Amino acid sequence: MSAFLEPFGGAVCLDFANTLDGRATAQPAEYLHTYADLARWSAFAGLIDGATSARLRRHDAEASLRAALGLREAIFEVFAAIGRGQEPPAGPLDEVRRRYAEAVASARLVPGTSSGGKFIWEFTGDEPDRAWWPISVDAVRLLTEGPLDRVKTCAAEAGCIGLFVDTSKNRSRRWCTMDGCGVEAKVQRQARRRAARG
Ligand SMILES: [Zn+2]
């Protein structure tokens, strides 16, 4: 079993934002304490393979972890605003752009295998920042291609503020997961109903 949160974001950049869980609770849960955690998460999310992750983990790359966490918080600010129908704040939006520019400066354009001949950014080598580079690319892809009208935050008011792309047919998804905040909300509703009945 993985020590990471099961991904529910529907986009890698949102799953990355969700690695700080329970943002609106008294005890947010941080999943990325060290650079090694970041390299492990990157493999967990399918951004690098296991062998690359193991090589990257030999680095003690505190600066890369800081850069990744800065990117993560910028992604959160930008997409949480979008999810609430607000304009994303300028600072975080520029942080996403800046990290994306850094990432593609180190990437090659190669034909993709699964996207109908479309080219993709390819990252190689053992530069520690490789663990987060593809996340910045995914964030810009989601910003430029959408579907932004499907980006939502979890409806639990004092819960995770998890971000996800709602792919349900009638756009009715409200929770990060039904067995996460979804079930908590249900329990609270039932408790209120019981209390109201006295
Ligand atoms: Zn939630």
Q: In total, how many domains does the chain have?
A: 1
State in Å: Cα 13 to ligand 1 middle.
17
Is 84 inside a domain boundary? yes
Residue 195 pLDDT grade (very low, low, confident, very high; cuts 50, 70, 90): confident
Is 1 inside a domain boundary? no
Is 68 inside a domain boundary? yes
- Minimal CA–CA distance to 16: which of 138, 120, 124? 138
| CB 17 within 8 Å of CB 146 | no
Q: Which two tokens stand for residue 195?
A: 């209390």
State in Å: Cα 179 to ligand 1 middle.
9
Look at residue 84 in the predicted model and tell me its pLDDT. 94
Q: Is the pLDDT of residue 176 over 80?
A: yes
| CB 164 within 8 Å of CB 172 | no
State in Å: Cα 132 to ligand 1 middle.
24
Is 126 inside a domain boundary? yes
Domain span at residue 133 reads: 12-197
Q: How many CB atoms lie within 10 A of CB 11?
A: 22
State in Å: Cα 163 to ligand 1 middle.
8
Is 173 inside a domain boundary? yes
Is 3 inside a domain boundary? no
Q: Are strands 29-30 and 163-165 parallel, antiparallel or unpaired?
A: unpaired
Mean pLDDT across 37-44:
98
Is 6 inside a domain boundary? no
C-alpha to C-alpha distance for 180 and 147, rounded to whole angstroms: 24
| Element holding 108 (H helix, E strand) | strand 108-111
- Give the tens place of pLDDT for each residue, 101-120: 999 999 999 998 876 789 99
State in Å: Cα 192 to ligand 1 middle.
19
Residue 1 pLDDT grade (very low, low, confident, very high; cuts 50, 70, 90): very low
According to DSSP, residue 194 is labeled H
According to DSSP, residue 146 is labeled -
Q: Is the pLDDT of residue 2 over 70?
A: no
State in Å: Cα 177 to ligand 1 middle.
6
| 69-96 as b/e: b if 16+ CB within 10 A | bebbebbbbbbbbbbeeeebeeebbebb
State in Å: Cα 158 to ligand 1 middle.
9
C-alpha to C-alpha distance for 151 and 153, rounded to whole angstroms: 7
- Minimal CA–CA distance to 64: which of 36, 85, 27? 36
C-alpha to C-alpha distance for 68 and 25, rounded to whole angstroms: 23
Q: Between 162 and 112, name the one with better pLDDT.
A: 162
Is 5 inside a domain boundary? no
Q: Mind spelling out the 3-state secondary structure of 8-42?
A: CCCCHHHHHHCCEECCCCCCCEECCCCHHHHHHHH
* CATH number of the domain enclosing 21: 1.10.3300.10
